[in-house]
Amino acid sequence: MTWPPLPPGIEPAELAWHDGVPESKRYGDVYFSRDNGLEETRHVFLKHNQLPERFSRVPEGGSFVIAENGFGTGLNFLAAWQAWQSRAPANNATLHFVSVERFPLTREDLARALALWPELKVLADELLSHYPPLVRGAHRLVLAGGRVRLTLFFGDINDAWQSLDFHADAWFLDGFAPARNPDMWLETTINQVRAHSKPGTTLATFTSVGRIRRALIDAGFRMEKTSGYGRKREMLKGILEAEEPAQPEDPGTIAIIGAGIAGCALARNLAERGYPVKLIDTGGPGTGASGNAQGALYVKLGVEFNDQTELALSSLTFAQRFYANWRGKHWHPTGLLQLAHSPQEEDRQKRFLQRNDYPRDILWPVNREQASSISGVPTESGGLWFPGSGWLEPANLCRELADHPLISTEYHVKVKRLLPCNGKWHISADDGKTIAADRAVISSGHLSPGLIPVKGHFRLKAIRGQVSHLPAPAVINPNAVICGNRYLNPALGDIAVTGATFDLHDNNPLPTTESHDENIHELGSMLPSLFSPRSDKPSGIDLDGRVAFRCTTHDYQPVAGPVFDGESANLDDLYLFTGLGSKGLTYAPLLAEYLADQVTGQPACLPANLVRRLETRRLYQTDVVVS
Ligand code: SAM
């Protein structure tokens, strides 16, 4: 890694270990008390925010939000999670923990620091297995089967609090001592603490410095000195005094129109948070564009590390963690090779590697020999190797996601229109059936534009894609997914899926021989040694395959958020979730998480710069343009 790291890298913490306790070399301070860090956390942060008692009062489907200044070793987080585990009500309530870290510990250092607490081992192991690669930006970790959601922002505290949307119930103010790390205790930071608090929010901090106390009082907190832990005589606790806390609005029943990967991931996400969902589809789960037998978990990361690249990267890493739940079942993390299959792509990859610094748990460059050996297929070039990627069985996955007691399904229902009526959405089908819901999400792929009940035009288009099922013996079976101008998956049973065509102005729903031939030709030009000498090269006329229509936007970026009303604002009970193009498997899990955050009023997993990229408003045109 260069120094300071190129994007998206971030400097890790440099630790000194004294008597097994980690200390920051940069700040010359300890991460936690030498006496007993865990007991100190329980005393300072848990007890003085009255967490165990408050946890037990969280209602069904509700959430409790803790925010923290300085994630460090994650000890505070694990202690809060442990208390939540023993005191949270036995319902679908969620603990959100929002934290920031400018110098994250490496996974190895984190493991060493957390090994000090045998009683936290199970939780620490789960955290470690989800711990994100050291790249800047927001990471959402879904833990304890969704009962605990950690939003971990790698970057500076002021950037974090400016770009994340959340309101805390309790704060852990845990920067290093103000004298050693004044940046963490600036007035602007304290004002951000206030801005992200609800009436009744509490805070606790190990420090009792007068300047900090006065700044918190000025920000509106009633502060009190109390006895500290161990050798520390005093600490501070506070509460934001204000009228009764507002009760979060119950979103009621949520209808999702479209049971592709986006709709199914969202339905499952909401159901697991305790919200009932009606999942509606013309066919069934995974019968449209998400219905292929195989699909690659693929993104193309831009040469510039801009918002678009950050969104693709966050989606990729989140998706890899999400799909780990189906490892060996519908998820096959074989790794993925992105070939430098043309001079242009070779040049692009060269520039990409010069300008960026990706950790090896995300990708690394491979030469031709390495590419051939890693993929098991002789290649003509090197490329980028994504060790944590792989392929999915999307149709099977959609079926499983949709199977949850809180998801009621309405399949074989062709929705014609949505009408607002007495505070609800009336969703009417072409057979006369009407389904009512408090909120609705249009997630119907290329059929979405016809359902948006707003005058004007949202720039969405359909692009035909045909995949071909190659008989497995016809090709050298790769060990990993290979992508270039086509992708090829390792065989599933007796076929290997390759594709897909990209037919902008073609609405033929049936597979054609020409499209199969095109797939074979493109695959052959990408991997000339692929076709097995023991078998005839397949011909399009003999192949099976499948056609689906991807939905893309004018800027080829997904859309996820409340529907723009065509005048000046967003509707607050109707959402659009589509435009995922050919990257649906990559984008769907994170964007479903983000939409579920929005619908339930829970902390957002995405920072503001990425939220802006997803807005429906950017698609809107008053004049209907046929593209
Ligand atoms: N809560 C942690 C735990 O449970 O281990 C200990 C936190 S440690 C006392 C303070 C942390 O704040 C350090 O990890 C440090 O790197 C981080 N930090 C310092 N300055 C920061 C800044 N400007 N923005 C974000 N994090 C910062």
Domain ranges of the chain: 15-240, 254-288+395-459+554-621, 336-347+364-387+462-552
Please enumerate in sequence order all residues whose Cβ is within 8 A of that of 72, keeping only pairs 6 or more positions apart, or say none: 13, 31, 32, 101, 105, 174
Q: What is the DSSP secondary-structure string of 322-370?
A: HHGGGBTTTEE---EEEE--SHHHHHHHHHHHHH----TTT-EEE-HHH
Q: Using N-to-C axis directions, what is the helix angle for 584-600 and 261-272, rounded to 10°?
A: 40
Which ligand 1 atom is nearest residue 175's CA? 10
**Which pLDDT belongs to residue 90?**
76
Per-residue confidence at 120, pLDDT binned at 50, 70, 90?
very high
* Residue ID of nearest Cα to ligand 1 atom 21: 102
Beta strand ranges found along 26-77 (DSSP E): 29-30, 63-69
3-state DSSP assignment of residue 152:
strand
Query: What is the pLDDT, as a whole number, of residue 250?
Result: 80
CATH of the domain spanning 15-240: 3.40.50.150
Contact 23 CB / ligand 1 (< 6 Å): no
CA distances from 617 to 450, 454, 597 (A): 17, 12, 19
The listed CATH number (3.40.50.360, 3.30.750.200, 3.30.9.10, 3.40.50.300) that belongs to domain 336-347+364-387+462-552 = 3.30.9.10
Cβ of 105 less than 6 Å from ligand 1: no
Q: What pLDDT sits at residue 88? A: 81
CA count, 13 A, side-chain hemisphere, 132 = 29
- Determine the distance separating the centroid of ligand 1 and the alpha carbon of 470, expressed in angstroms: 53
Q: Given the CA of residue 76, which atom of ligand 1 is nearest to it? A: 4
Find the distance separating the first CA and the last CA of the chain, reported in whole Å: 45
CA of 176 to the centre of ligand 1 (A): 6
Residues 250-285: pLDDT tens digits?
Answer: 878 999 999 999 999 999 999 999 999 999 999 999
| Bond prior to 4 in cis (omega within 30° of 0) | yes
If you measure from the C-alpha of residue 77 to the centroid of ligand 1, how many angstroms do you get, rounded to a whole number? 13
Q: Strands (DSSP E) along 446-558, which ranges?
A: 457-458, 460-471, 481-483, 487-488, 495-499, 544-553
**Phi/psi at 455 (5° precision):** -65, 140
Q: Tell me the mean pLDDT in the region 473-480.
A: 94
Ligand 1 atom with the shortest distance to the CA of 157: 24
pLDDT band at 89 (very low <50, low <70, confident <90, very high): confident
Beta partners for 332?
391
Residue 244, pLDDT score: 64
What confidence category does residue 3 fall into, taking pLDDT thresholds of 50, 70 and 90?
low
Residues 126-139 have a mean pLDDT of 98
Q: Does residue 181 have its Cβ closer than 6 Å to ligand 1?
A: yes
pLDDT at 626 over 60: no
175 lines ligand 1 (CB under 6 A): yes
Mean pLDDT of 441-459: 96
Q: Is the CB of 291 under 6 A from ligand 1?
A: no
CA pair distance 327, 4, nearest whole angstrom: 36
Q: Dihedral of CA 408/414/419/422: which sign?
A: negative
pLDDT band at 206 (very low <50, low <70, confident <90, very high): very high
C-alpha to C-alpha distance for 219 and 212, rounded to whole angstroms:
11
Q: Confidence band (pLDDT; 50, 70, 90) for 554?
A: very high
d(CA 138, CA 156): 11
Distance, CA of 103 to CA of 11 (rounded, Å): 6
pLDDT at 34: 87
Inter-residue contact 154 to 134 (CB < 8 Å): yes
**What rounded mean pLDDT belongs to the chain?**
95
The atom number, within ligand 1, closest to the CA of 72 reads 14
pLDDT over 60 (residue 627):
no
- Distance separating alpha carbons of residues 602 and 65, to the nearest angstrom: 8
Hey, do 254-288+395-459+554-621 and 336-347+364-387+462-552 end up sharing a CATH topology, with the first three levels equal? no
Position 610 scores a pLDDT of 98
Q: How many CB atoms lie within 10 A of CB 473?
A: 14
The alpha carbon of 70 and the centre of ligand 1 are apart by a number of angstroms equal to 3
Instruction: Tell whether ligand 1 has an atom less than 6 A from the beta carbon of residue 78.
Output: no
Contact 117 CB / ligand 1 (< 6 Å): no
What topology is assigned to 254-288+395-459+554-621 in CATH? FAD/NAD(P)-binding domain (3.50.50)
Q: DSSP 3-state assignment of 569?
A: coil
405: which residues sit within 8 A by CB, 6+ positions away? 271
Contacts of 252 (CB under 8 A, 6+ apart): 437, 438, 439
* CA 102 to ligand 1 centroid distance, Å: 7
Express each pLDDT in 27-36 by its tens digit: 999 999 888 9
* Strands 559-564, 570-578: pairing kind: antiparallel
Residue 532 has pLDDT above 90, yes or no: no
Q: What percent of the chain has pLDDT over 90?
A: 90
* Three-state DSSP class for residue 81: helix
What pLDDT score does 360 carry?
A: 97
Query: Which of 303, 389, 284 shows the shortest CA–CA distance to 346?
Result: 303
3 state DSSP class of 254: strand
pLDDT, tens digit (0-9, with 9 covering 90-100), for 348-403: 999 999 999 999 999 999 999 999 999 999 999 999 999 999 999 999 999 999 99
Q: If you count DSSP H runs as helices and E runs as strands, how many of each does the chain have, helices first?
A: 16, 33
With a cut of 80, say whether residue 533 has pLDDT above it.
no
Which atom in ligand 1 lies closest to the alpha carbon of residue 30? 9
Mean pLDDT, residues 439-461 taken together:
96
Q: Does residue 39's CB lie within 6 angstroms of at least one atom of ligand 1? A: no
